[in-house]
Amino acid sequence: MTYAPDIPFATLSPDLILDAVDSLEIKTDGSLLVLNSYENRVYQLGVNDASPLVVKFYRPNRWADEQILEEHAFVEALANAEIPAVPAIQINHQTLFQYSGFRFSLFTKHGGRAPELDRKGVLEWIGRFVGRIHSIGAIQPFQHRPRLDMESFGEVPSQYLLASEFIPLELREVYRGVVAQALDGIKRCYERAGDVDLIRLHGDCHMGNLLWTDEGPHFVDFDDSRMGPAVQDLWMMLSGSPEEMKQQMNQILLGYEDFFDFNLQELHLIEALRTLRLIHYAAWIAARWDDPAFKTAFTWFNTQQYWQDRILELREQIAAMNEPPLIASGNY
């Protein structure tokens, strides 16, 4: 991602949104519902004599056109393989459109509810679903989209934070020392894991991006799709004590390996990837802080307590990265 402050959507008015969609000869009925998104701007809009559509306006200067189109092609490949994913709508063989300086895409509206992870068989079902995604993701690499690695999610964002004025002066050197220790711990985790394959991922598999219907799960929002280790799409589904997380991972892998082989060495990366996400997340909010939507959504950010909590969090992760991985063998 680009760590540069901007106010990207200042001119994105309701009239402009409707005019952009009307420019594709889709006749909207004027209704517009804001959906929960900060990185981009996403809306549900009514269409005359048809089901509502979802329109996504991409954050300017984040992705190049070829990177967005590569994401679209990946999701289209999943849909063509009958994997429940929501591809961008094609109009005249195009999925990415421009209007008044903004790039946008359209999607069919898909509902769903949060999965009940404690229900018998749900984690195994999710594992099968992710395994199917990875079986397609491993066929070929992205040519334009980035990698999830220590540099992009650890070194670059931490350097951005330390060079900014977000971290209070009295905590800056403490943060510098702790993040250096954390990066060293991440490096050692990668060394223990050894060589692992990088494949095309969803990249942001938290429960908010997983919707459940009577037909099973489907993921939405492939905006963070990138190259990375397979375990990145699994660890965010884990919660609770180490023993609970071990049992959850066992259930996920039980379904996952029906469709794709999992390299158990990647389990060494779970706490490293968690640490990278924590570092990256703080920098992501900081870089977007001039966007009014972020000030509204993240009111707790950029306080003395916030940065004290981040320092404590990183110290806890330094300890966690020294613990054995969740599963020592494939007995699941």
28 — phi, psi (to 5°)? -80, 160
* pLDDT of the residue at 2: 57
The pLDDT assigned to 330 comes to 53
Last residue of a domain, one of 108, 142, 177: 108
pLDDT at 329: 46
95 and 175 inside one domain: no
115 assigned to some structural domain: no
Same domain, 75 and 149: no
Asked whether residue 190 carries a pLDDT value surpassing 50, the answer given is: yes
Residue 116 lies in a domain: no
Residue 6: inside a domain: no
* One-letter identity of residue 215: E
Q: Are residues 209 and 270 in the same domain?
A: yes
Marked catalytic residue, from 65, 221, 290, 309: 221
The verdict on residue 168 lying in a domain is yes
Query: Smallest Cα–Cα separation from 276: which of 180, 152, 145, 176?
Result: 152
Do 92 and 133 lie in one domain? The reply is no
Q: Is the domain of 143 the same as that of 89?
A: no
pLDDT tens digits along 88-130:
999 999 999 999 999 999 999 988 888 887 888 899 999 999 9
pLDDT over 90 for what percent of the chain?
78
Do 130 and 44 belong together in one domain? no
Q: In the structure encoding, which two tokens stand for residue 190, read together?
A: 């990668």
On whether both 91 and 234 belong to a single domain, the answer is no
Between 146 and 216, name the one with better pLDDT.
146
CATH of the domain at 82: 3.30.200.70
Tell whether the model's pLDDT for residue 3 goes beyond 60.
Answer: no
> What is the residue type of 36?
N
Main-chain phi, psi angles of 309, to 5 degrees: -65, -35
DSSP secondary-structure letter at 237? G
**How far is it, in rounded angstroms, from Cα 307 to Cα 285?**
13
Task: For residue range 5-50, list pLDDT tens digits in order.
Answer: 567 898 999 999 999 999 999 999 999 999 988 899 999 999 998 8
By residue count, the chain amounts to: 332
Mean of all residue pLDDT scores within the chain = 93
Predicted confidence (pLDDT) at residue 84 exceeds the cutoff of 70: yes
207, 23 Cβ separation under 8 angstroms: no
Answer whether residue 126 is part of any domain.
Answer: yes
Q: Which residues, 6+ apart, have CB-to-CB distance to 13 below 8 Å?
A: none
> What pLDDT is stored for residue 210 in this prediction?
86
Number of domains making up the chain: 2
Residue 68 covered by a domain: yes
Q: How confident is the model at residue 176, as a pLDDT?
A: 98
Last residue of a domain, one of 51, 82, 108: 108
Q: Are residues 191 and 104 in the same domain?
A: no
Measured between alpha carbons, how far is residue 136 from residues 15, 82, 251, 255, 315 in Å? 39, 11, 21, 16, 37
204 is catalytic: yes
- pLDDT score for 34: 93
Assess whether 48 and 164 both reside in one domain: no
Contacts of 295 (CB under 8 A, 6+ apart): 289
Both ends of the chain: CA-CA distance in Å? 37
What's the CA gap between 211 and 113, in Å, rounded? Answer: 5
Average pLDDT for 195-215: 90
Q: Residue 218: its pLDDT value, please?
A: 81
Mark whether 194 and 257 lie in a shared domain. Answer: yes
Using alpha carbons only, give the angle 231, 39, 185 rounded to the nearest 5 degrees. 35
pLDDT at 222: 95
Task: Give the CATH number of the domain where residue 268 resides.
Answer: 1.10.510.10
Write down which residue in 82, 108, 134 finishes a domain. Answer: 108
* Integer Cα distance of 122 and 120 in angstroms: 6
Instruction: Give tens-digit pLDDT for 248-282.
Output: 999 999 999 999 999 999 999 999 999 999 999 99
Instruction: Mark whether 221 is an active-site residue.
Output: yes
* Amino acid, res. 206: H
- The pLDDT assigned to 6 comes to 60
Q: Are 187 and 322 in contact (CB under 8 A)?
A: no
Query: Would you say residue 141 has pLDDT above 80?
Result: yes
Catalytic one among 204, 223, 224, 291?
204
Q: Is residue 261 domain-shared with residue 304, that is, in the same domain?
A: yes
Residues 6+ apart with CB under 8 A from 228: 147, 148, 149, 198, 199, 201, 203
Q: Is the same domain home to 152 and 94?
A: no
CA gap 35, 30 in Å, rounded: 16
pLDDT reported for residue 146? 97
Q: CA–CA separation, 42 vs 56, rounded Å?
A: 4
What's residue 328's pLDDT?
A: 45
User: Quick one: pLDDT at residue 268?
Assistant: 97
Question: Is residue 328 situated within a structural domain?
Answer: no
To which H or E segment does residue 22 belong?
Answer: helix 14-22
Range of the domain at 68: 14-108
Residue 43 lies in a domain: yes
